Amino acid sequence: MDLTLRSIMGGVAMLADESGADYDHRFPDSLGSYRAGTVVLARDDRVYRCKPFPFSGWCNTWSRGTNQYEPGMGSHWQEAWTRVD
Structural domain boundaries of the chain? 4-83
pLDDT digits (tens, 9 = 90+) for 6-38: 545 545 555 555 555 699 999 999 999 999 999
Stated pTM of the model: 0.77
pLDDT category at 50 given cuts 50, 70, 90 is: very high
Residue in 48, 68, 47, 43 with CA at minimum distance from that of residue 58: 68
pLDDT over 70 at 59, yes or no: yes
